[in-house]
Amino acid sequence: DIQMTQSPSSLPASVGDRVTITCRASQSISNHLNWYQHKPGKAPKLLIYGASSLQTEVPSRFSGSGSGTDFALTISSLQPDDFATYYCQQSHSTFYTFGQGTKVEIK
Amino acid sequence: QVQLQESGPGLVKPSQTLSLTCTVSGDSISGGGYFWSWIRQNPEMGLEWIGYIYYSGNTYYNPYLQGRATMSRDTSKNQFSLRLSSVGAADTAVYYCARGGDAYGDFDYWGQGSLVTVSP
C-alpha cells in the first residue's frame, strides 16, 4: 500500500498568514492526489483534486501543487473559516489511503 | 445537489456485525462515472478507506480488513450498504459514505457521518 505522510501535524497560524502543508507519498503517484478540509461534526470537504485543480466553489486562496511523491496545499491568506484539519489522499492505487492530517489552529 | 445520509445502529457488541446504509439523493448509484464508498475515522487510524461499490455493482475492499467487509446495493431505493463482521473495539469510529469520481478518485460528496461504538 502507498503511505502518505503529512507535515506538520499541527500548524499554529494567524488570520492573514500564508500557510503551506506538505504531503509525501511512499512511491510516485503522478498527480493522483486530492486534498480535503475537515471540521468537527461535519463532512469532509474536497478542496483540490488531481494535485492542483480547484474544486467548484472553493475559494481561490486555496491552491495545490506537486507531482510524483511531493505535494503541497497552500492557503494564501488564512481566513477565520479555514481553521480545520486538512488531509491528503492518494488515488494512484485503488487501495486509497489518506495522510494522518494537519490541524491548522489559532496561534 | 447530491446528498448522502448514513443510517444504522450506533452501538454494536463485540464479535457481532456492524450494518450501515447510505441513502443517496440527487444522483443514481447505478449511473456511470462514479463509485460509492465507505470511509471511517477514529483517533488511532485517522481516515481509513473501507471499500467501494462501482456503478456496475463490482466491489473492492481495503485488504487490511481481512475479508470482514461486504458492500451491497439496492438500486430501487438508491441505497448502498456496509456490513462489517466480527467487530472489535478498534472498529469504533465515525463511518462516512461518500461518492468517488472515476477520473481522479476524489470524494466530492460525503454524508454527515454516523458514530458507531463497539461495546458490550
Q: Where are the beta strands (DSSP E) in A1-107?
A: 4-7, 10-13, 19-25, 33-38, 45-49, 53-54, 62-67, 70-75, 85-90, 97-98, 102-106
| pLDDT at position B55 over 90 | no
A75-91 as b/e: b if 16+ CB within 10 A: beebeeebbbbbbbbbb
- Residue B10 CA to residue A100 CA, distance in Å, equals 25
pLDDT digits (tens, 9 = 90+) for B79-113: 999 999 999 999 999 999 999 998 899 999 999 99
- Residue A66 CA to residue A22 CA, distance in Å, equals 10
Q: Does A97 touch chain B (CB under 8 A)?
A: yes
Closest residue by Cα to residue B40 from A49, A98, A86, A5 = A98
Alpha-carbon Rg of chain A, whole angstroms?
13
Q: Does A43 touch chain B (CB under 8 A)?
A: yes
pLDDT digits (tens, 9 = 90+) for A65-107: 999 999 999 999 999 999 999 999 999 998 999 999 999 999 9
Closest residue by Cα to residue B41 from B86, B98, B83, B79 = B98
pLDDT for residue A97: 96
pLDDT for residue B40: 97
The number of C-beta contacts closer than 8 angstroms across A and B is 59
Look at B49 and A42 and tell me if their CB atoms are within 8 Å.
no
- Residue A19 CA to residue A30 CA, distance in Å, equals 24
| pLDDT at position B66 over 90 | no
Residue of A nearest to B59 (CA): A94
- Number of helices and strands (H, E) in chain A? 0, 11
Q: Which residues contact B12 (CB under 8 A, 6 or more apart)?
A: B18, B87, B91, B116, B117, B118
Mean pLDDT of B56-60: 92
pLDDT digits (tens, 9 = 90+) for B3-41: 999 999 999 999 999 999 999 999 999 988 899 999 999
- Amino acid at the residue B24: V
Chain A residues with beta carbon closer than 8 angstroms to that of B106: 34, 46, 49-50, 55, 89, 91
The three grid cell numbers given for residue A107, joined into one nine-digit string: 496561534
Look at B47 and A101 and tell me if their CB atoms are within 8 Å.
yes
The three grid cell numbers given for residue B34, joined into one nine-digit string: 462514479
Which among A46, A87, A92 is the nearest to B47, CB-wise? A87
| pLDDT at position B44 over 90 | no
Containing H/E element for B3? strand B3-7
Closest Cα in chain A, distance from residue B120 (Å): 25
The values of phi and psi at residue A27, to 5°, are -155, 165
Q: Does A40 touch chain B (CB under 8 A)?
A: no
The three grid cell numbers given for residue B56, joined into one nine-digit string: 456496475
pLDDT for residue B45: 78
Look at A34 and B62 and tell me if their CB atoms are within 8 Å.
no
- Residue A52 CA to residue A35 CA, distance in Å, equals 9
